[in-house]
Amino acid sequence: MKKDFVLLAYANASPFPYHSWTPLSILAPGAYLEQHDVEVEYFDGRIHKKERFKELVEKGPLLVGLSSMTCFQIKNTLRLASLVRRIDSGIPLVWGGTHPSMCAEQTLASGLVDFVVKGEGEQTLLELVHAVGSGQKEFNDIDGLGWKRNGACVLNKDRGFLDIEDLPFPYDGKGREILTTYLGKTDTLENIGYESSRGCPYKCGFCYNVYFHKNVCRVKSVEKVRAELVRLKELGVGKMTFYDDTFLAGDRDMMNSVCGLLKELDLKWIANVRINTFDAELLRKFREGGCVYLFFGIESPDDEVLKYIKKGQNRRMIDEGIRLVSQGGIKTLYSLMIGLPNETEEQLKRTLDFADEIRRIHPGSEVPIQPYVPLPGTALYEEAVKAGFKAPTHLEGWKNYTNDEIKTPWVKDPALLNAIYINTFLAFRYERFLKGFWGGLVFRPFHELSLWRWKKRYFKFFFEGWIYILYKRFGRVFIFLRKHIK
């Protein structure tokens, strides 16, 4: 006899322990289900043992919801789906998240997928729960759903967006247990996530946003943000990360108001902001409001490239923004991108040199350089296909499409780009992410070597890459030893 509860699961999305933030992709729809009197249980592969997932599946949930992005997470999500099938093949497997949304038909073709929720999942998932619970066999009337009729894939029409004001607070109900667990973790940073908006007003060609949010950007009212931040504070949160793709959609009036609220609540926080957002006064309000870390997607120093990727900013804006932010006293990351279609050797060199220029203007800033990954549904994806990119033909094939797996055919030296990616992490992100792991005795030598390699631009005999691969493959063993061997 099946129980009247829904199991929502988030598989580990990275082999590295520092990637551990509260999974709003299952907590948000879960809170919506709970608001409508549906019992929900959660499994988070970063904080729960696999035995918990197995025990919950053995209790016979009405369905199992699985959230996944286009990355390493797909592999682990498939493992969870396989386990459900082995325990009870009759439990429906419902996939959601960015990858199933952008590759709905291909995802649905997998034998480990029964339904796909496209786009925002709250209302679609609720209607599916009611339909499955009532024994319904046809699902044509559920917008935003992909399903199977006699083995054939059916994609219903897309669903419109919910009023963002109606979304429940994600840490009420069972979500509070997840938050409490993350509050107790000491090996991660601002690990409590909160979204004050959904969508982004910009149209970057490499980003999922244009497809997933369809150029619609919604910002919560100041009153709703205030009420939810107060709730976070009451629950013991002292530091947090805004999950907004662009903090408060870049609305200056909202940012001014919310910065005042954050100062009042004495919260420390991280935000993703456009580099041309600030003037000196707003930057001061960010600092006084408790902002401890800013993330900027710079991508390139070349106006030609910025126009190609539809970034919506130019080199002049970038230079002015870096000079201003460097005076703000807030730790900052400036992300750059390499390996785009048609990239020349000169453009690659200018990007590397620009990283040095950024760190000269803003000493101590983090400047990771990441290889471009074609994501289905994005504007640049079609450009990538025209340039020879061969997309995987099945769901499992996407599991290795990450920044460290160079699979774009126009790149003449994939090993070089991979070395640059790993090296800039070791060189420029050591203080934030690696210094505390197992002490400087382990990582300090690699950090010093990476700084030397960067200065000399010498990436040959990159044995660090092999160590990186070993860590990816056996990382769970390393994490276990780190937790149990003092």
Greatest Cα pair distance in the chain? 66
Whole-structure pTM value: 0.92
- What pLDDT is attached to residue 18? 57
Cα separation, 38 vs 279, whole angstroms: 47
Residue 158, Cβ neighbours under 10 Å: how many? 15
Could you write out the DSSP letters of every residue in 387-406? TT----SSGGGGTT-STTS-
**Backbone φ/ψ region at 27: left (φ over 0), alpha (ψ -120 to 50), beta:** alpha
Contact yes or no for 412/350 (Cβ under 8 A): no
The torsion angles phi and psi of 441, rounded to 5 degrees, stand at -60, -35
Domains of the chain by start residue, with CATH = 5-155 (3.40.50.280), 189-372 (3.20.20.70), 413-486 (no CATH)
**How do the pLDDT tens digits run along the chain, 486 residues long?**
345 899 999 998 876 655 678 999 999 999 999 999 999 999 999 899 999 999 999 999 999 999 999 888 999 999 999 999 999 999 999 999 999 999 999 999 999 999 999 999 999 999 999 999 999 999 999 999 999 999 899 999 999 999 999 999 999 999 999 999 999 876 557 889 999 999 999 999 999 988 898 888 999 999 999 999 999 999 999 999 999 999 999 999 999 999 999 999 999 999 999 999 999 999 999 999 999 999 999 999 999 999 999 999 999 999 999 999 999 999 999 999 999 999 999 999 999 999 999 999 999 999 999 999 999 889 899 999 999 999 999 999 998 888 788 889 999 999 999 999 999 999 998 888 777 655 567 788 999 999 999 999 999 999 988 887 777 666 555 555 444 444
Write the DSSP symbol of residue 365. -
Q: What confidence score (pLDDT) does residue 410 get? A: 96
- Per-residue pLDDT, 17: 56
Contact between residue 87 and residue 54 where contact means Cβ atoms under 8 Å apart: yes
The residue count of the chain comes to: 486
Q: How far apart are CA 11 and CA 411, in angstroms?
A: 31
Going through 45-142 in order, the beta strands assigned E by DSSP cover: 63-67, 93-96, 115-117
Query: What does the alpha-carbon distance between residue 246 and residue 442 come to, in Å, rounded to a whole number?
Result: 36
Contact present, 70 and 115 (Cβ < 8 Å): no
Paired with 64 in beta bridges are 7, 93
User: Which pair of tokens denotes residue 60?
Assistant: 């016979």
**Could you read off the pLDDT of 307-362 as tens digits, one per residue?**
999 999 999 999 999 999 999 999 999 999 999 999 999 999 999 999 999 999 99
321-358 exposure pattern, b = at least 16 Cβ within 10 A, e = fewer:
bbebbbebebebbbebbbbbbebeeebbeebbebbeeb
